[in-house]
Amino acid sequence: MQERTTGLWMTLAAAVLFAVSAVVAADVFEHVSPARVAQFRSVFAAIVLGAVAARRRLLGVGKDLWWTALMGANLAAVTVTFYWAIDRLGVGPGTTIQFTAPVLVMVWMRVVEKRHVPPLAWLAAVAAVLGTGLMARAWEADVDGVGLAAAVGAALTFGTYLVLGERLGSRLPSLTTVTYGFAFSALFWLLAVPPQVGDLGGGEWARLAFIGVAGTAIPFLLELSALRRADPGSVGVVATAEPVVSAACAWVFLGQALTPAQVVGGALTAVAVAAIHLTTARRRALPLPPA
């Protein structure tokens, strides 16, 4: 019981770090584009996670190199779409919409994999969609279509990450998978966006380092450790605190206040996604990515 409690506290700490990282990223977009933030995040994370994996002698992938490369491309996509979403919609709505990915995975499980999905999970999925609509203010005619498309893209790529993670998780240690994932993600971004460092000041470097290390590598390691102590369903439920913490931090530090309807939508989505985690947690879990 003590081990499980420790694991859940680790998960909560990781969720807070992910949430704060999203706020820091949104703050730095004025000086650094979302694509470049995604690039620096991947590079910093790859270096730190690679060092830990090398120390634990977990760098061997055998015949799964191409699958880890695909994971890297997916991580690159989920990061940049998420950053575009929070840049255009705000941290709270962008994070909440991305976190509906478990709904998409649930549909994949039922339609493609023909797995049984409990009725409660379907009810939770409907609640999550309704909550997302409230959070995104879908009834407004002037809703940011590009930002909403980016958020949906973040949810889709987040869901793909979970599906790929299950495939690789049955063959490789989770630390190996995420290390190579971020290594290939960093390689992708270094080729796609030529790195520029001369135009960055000390403040921007500090924010980027925080996003890559304290906002990515450390929370990933915390969730990896948590999954050794607690079941994936419980870890997933605690991780749904991230959108709530993100919205609160964005309100306090960036002045991105939410309307009452958005607050209700965010709470409804968090509860619904937590219920989905509890009722469908049969997959071998990886740590949640981005924020």
289 assigned to some structural domain? no
288 assigned to some structural domain? no
Domain, as residue range, for 169: 2-280
Sequential DSSP letters for 146-161: HHHHHHHHHHHHHHHH
State the SS3 of 169-228. Answer: HCCCCHHHHHHHHHHHHHHHHHHHCCCCCCCCCHHHHHHHHHHHHHHHHHHHHHHHHHHC
The CA–CA distances, whole Å, from 113 to 18, 90, 109, 186, 262 equal 31, 35, 5, 31, 34
CA distance 97 to 234: 21
Residue 21 Cα to chain centre, angstroms: 11
83 assigned to some structural domain? yes
pLDDT tens sequence for the chain (291 residues): 678 788 889 888 988 999 899 999 999 998 889 999 999 999 999 999 999 999 999 888 888 889 889 989 998 999 999 999 999 988 888 888 888 888 888 888 788 888 887 888 888 888 888 888 887 776 665 678 899 899 999 999 988 887 887 778 778 888 888 899 899 999 999 998 887 766 778 888 999 999 999 999 998 888 878 877 877 667 777 787 888 888 888 888 889 888 888 888 888 888 887 887 777 665 555 666 655
pLDDT of amino acid 213? 93
How many domains does the chain divide into?
A: 1
pLDDT of amino acid 20? 93
287 assigned to some structural domain? no
291 assigned to some structural domain? no
254 assigned to some structural domain? yes
pTM: 0.84
286 assigned to some structural domain? no
285 assigned to some structural domain? no
